[in-house]
Amino acid sequence: MTAPQNGTGNGLQTGADLAVRSDSPLILALPKGRILKALAPVLSRTGIEPDPDCLTESSRRLRFGTSDPNLDVVRVRSFDVATFVAYGGADIGVCGADVLMEFDYPDIYAPLDLGIGGCRISVARPKTMVEDPATGQSRLRVATKYPTIARRHFASRAINAEIVHLNGAMELAPTLDLASVIVDLVDTGSTLRANGLMETETIAHVTSRLIVNRVALKTRPEEISALIERFRAALNTEEAA
């Protein structure tokens, strides 16, 4: 991915870049799909009402106004929310901790665990394999959508992971000999079971987080802090209910 050019040389937004649009609405990046569905009640408790087309995903539009004239929403792929926020295209966003672990952007601050989108990122292998294919190995072929997390996990066990990068249907990889094991998200475990796999290790537990661009937090502190507080209050209301 080619990063936008700016003063930092690393593609991430500087205060000067963000100041250019400091009079325009703040931008909240929301993920399409399952997190958006789970987020809808939280959003409603914050009092932020995006245009109805945004939540129903019935429109091809990607940017929406909200009940707050100072806040627009962009709807992007879950995996891209962190990138939009890290590069300052969005000031604030919601994404899974799995995505944050994978990209590890230094310019993202994650002040709130929203307690939705709960799952875990795990290693799994075919049930029929008697021994863990990682046992005694210094190299292992791993199919995953999470190359950084997988490499880091196996490196901590002195195993060099050869990554087969897939974007979905990871569960097919071991039986079709693409890889010995997979690293993927697991919730109920039904996808693993349906494809003859078993979970062998949990790498991390995952929930969705509210994330903020650190530079935006410095350049528009009152507005961003107020937004964070609205989300915090929405979570507290839920706990109290």
Ligand X SMILES: O=P(O)(O)OC[C@H]1O[C@H](OP(=O)(O)OP(=O)(O)O)[C@H](O)[C@@H]1O
Which positions touch ligand X (CB under 6 A)? 168, 184-191
Contacted entry of ligand ATP, ligand X, none for residue 99, CB cut-off 5 to 8 Å set by kind: ligand ATP
Residues 74, 90 contacting (CB under 8 angstroms): yes
Terminus-to-terminus CA distance in the chain, angstroms? 44
Write the interaction track for ligand ATP spanning residues 75-104; mark x where CB under 6 A is met and - where it is not.
--xxx----------------x-xx-----
The count of C-alpha atoms lying within 13 angstroms of the C-alpha of 55, restricted to the half-sphere facing its C-beta, is 14
- Which residue has its beta carbon closest to ligand ATP? 96
Q: Please, which residue, 79 or 103, has the CB nearer to ligand ATP?
A: 79
Write the interaction track for ligand ATP spanning residues 206-235; mark x where CB under 6 A is met and - where it is not.
x-x---------------------------
Amino acid at 235: L
Q: How many CB atoms lie within 10 A of CB 218?
A: 11
22: CB partners within 8 A, 6+ apart: 219, 220
Q: Which stretch binds ligand ATP (CB under 6 A): 5-13, 26-34, 132-140, 147-155?
A: 26-34
Residues 102, 144 contacting (CB under 8 angstroms): no
**How many angstroms separate the CA atoms of 48 and 194, rounded?**
39
15 binds ligand ATP (CB under 6 A): no
Residue 240 main-chain phi, psi, to 5 deg: -70, -25
Contacted entry of ligand ATP, ligand X, none for residue 8, CB cut-off 5 to 8 Å set by kind: none
Contacted entry of ligand X, ligand ATP, none for residue 78, CB cut-off 5 to 8 Å set by kind: ligand ATP
Backbone CA torsion sign across 158, 206, 173, 197: positive
Shortest distance (Å) from residue 215 CB to ligand ATP: 24
Q: Please, which residue, 6 or 207, has the CB nearer to ligand ATP?
A: 207
65: CB partners within 8 A, 6+ apart: 50, 51, 72, 73
Q: Which stretch binds ligand ATP (CB under 6 A): 3-11, 112-120, 130-138, 219-227?
A: 112-120
Q: Which residues bind to ligand ATP, rule: CB under 6 A?
A: 32-35, 77-79, 96, 98-99, 117-119, 185, 187, 206, 208
